Structure 1
Amino acid sequence: MDIGQRAFDYHKSGYNCAQSVFAACCEYTGMDEKTALALSAGFGGGARSGELCGAVTGAIMAEGLVFPFNDGQDTEAKDKIASIAKQCVNIAREKYGYVRCADLKGNIDCSEIIAFMAKTAEDIMKKEKN
């Protein structure tokens, strides 16, 4: 099963957008499913405030684990994840016109965005690993 379908299936099972994307990326992050679902639970619905789309947030969280910036002195890692996060947001904005949950929800089916962002995260992680 491809990553977009996995994310779609999580969402149809009752998980929110951020959980669905982040958990679908576990094969890349190495995080176990239960931890991924717990960690990302509060980010659905634009952190429950209608702000940055949770599917985008879930993708960026996964990318952050694959390309960690966890040493304050590592400016190369800091720049890399900043660039990746920006790329992820820009891809979503280019495709949908918005990245705010409140703007997206009225116009686009969340399941579509979830599948797309999981695939986008996978594509970015594969590309940036090389």
Structure 2
Amino acid sequence: MERSKVWEAAQKHKDGYNCCQAVVCTYCERLGMDEKTAFRAAEAYGLGIAGMFQTCGSVCGMMMLAGLKNSDANMESPASKFATFDLGKEMAKRFEQRNTSMICNDLRGTDGKTDRLRSCRGCVMDCAQIVEEVLFPGEFEPYDGPSEL
């Protein structure tokens, strides 16, 4: 079993990756995408999609990873999309159970500190844990470190 990469995702965020980039870039190579391409593909999903404070970028990152993990890549007759939707729904449900919302503006609060539900880095860490549990069951040791970096 491989050591959890939750801390690595948090460190990427601390180093300047946006929330989506931190999640996607932590796991992309094991799903066939190089980190530079993943970084570029995930760039517009920061601060709740293009800075609009909508769906959390970390959650968007989980969805990208679900597609990379589960898609049959059959462009003529796609058959995997509903199973991928189910994976995404399961991960979103777990995130919402932990944080009560998937909306960046709700999670961050009005000023990012005083009335927030969860910090951005905390969301990255939650999503990394969920990715390991749902997309890679039994492949990673359970994360048992701090909930914030």
With normalisation by structure 1, the TM-score equals: 0.90
Aligned residues: 128
On the 8 A contact 1:3/1:115 being kept in 2, the answer is no
Bigger Rg, which one: 2
**In 1, distance between residues paired with 2:30 and 2:69?**
7
Q: Which residue, out of 27, 37, 45, partners 1:35?
A: 37
Describe the superposition over 1:30-86 as per-residue Cα deviations: whole angstroms up to 9, x where unpaired.
2111111111000111112111100011011011101015336343x1221010111
Q: Secondary structure at the match of 2:23?
A: helix
1:97 pairs with 2:107: no
Q: Which residue, out of 40, 44, 47, partners 1:45?
A: 47
Q: Could you say which residue in structure 2 is the equivalent of 1:118?
A: 128
How far the C-alpha of 1:25 sits from its partner, in A, is 1.0
Deviates more, 1:15-24 or 1:117-126: 117-126
**In 1, distance between residues paired with 2:135 and 2:30?**
8
1:68 pairs with 2:71: yes
What is the CA RMSD across the aligned residues, in angstroms?
A: 1.9
Q: Secondary structure at the match of 1:25?
A: helix
Q: Secondary structure at the match of 2:52?
A: helix
Q: Secondary structure at the match of 1:15?
A: coil
Q: Could you say which residue in structure 1 is the equivalent of 2:21?
A: 19
**In 2, distance between residues paired with 1:33 and 1:78?**
24
Name the amino acid aligned to 1:71.
N
**In 2, distance between residues paired with 1:98 and 1:7?**
21
**In 2, distance between residues paired with 1:37 and 1:27?**
11
Describe the superposition over 1:92-122 as per-residue Cα deviations: whole angstroms up to 9, x where unpaired.
1110000000000121111111011012112
**In 2, distance between residues paired with 1:69 and 1:83?**
15
Q: Secondary structure at the match of 2:136?
A: helix
